[in-house]
Amino acid sequence: DTAVSQTPKYLVTQMGNDKSIKCEQNLGHDTMYWYKQDSKKFLKIMFSYNNKELIINETVPNRFSPKSPDKAHLNLHINSLELGDSAVYFCASSPQGAGGYTFGSGTRLTVV
């Protein structure tokens, strides 16, 4: 199946821990993104990578560090997790230019 896949689907962890979320796309898209959906269900961009280069860093705390080993993968590492980081994190990809987005199914992060 051609898709954007992210793991894990659910992540429950304690404050202060470090965690990673992985994302892979097999659509051949050049650009990958991380979006955050908060408790009010509003979606906002965090990062964008184009061919492994960081394009957008949308005033996200530096505890969040994206890593793109190749253009098909974009992982998100979060250090020193805080209660306020609890949210659903979506990975997405799009082709170069004005193509449409494809989203992953999301990772629900709960910090306790």
| Interface ranges with another protein (CB under 8 A) | 31, 33, 35, 40-45, 48, 50, 55-56, 58, 90, 92, 94, 97-106, 108
Compute the radius of gyration of the chain from its Cα atoms.
Answer: 13
Nearer to another protein, 47 or 75 (CB): 47
Q: Which residues contact 92 (CB under 8 A, 6 or more apart)?
A: 4, 32, 33, 34, 35, 101, 102, 103, 104
- Supply the minimum distance, in Å, between the C-beta of residue 55 and another protein: 5
Distance (Å, rounded) from C-alpha 40 to C-alpha 36? 11
- Supply the minimum distance, in Å, between the C-beta of residue 100 and another protein: 4
Nearer to another protein, 15 or 54 (CB): 54
- Supply the minimum distance, in Å, between the C-beta of residue 15 and another protein: 24
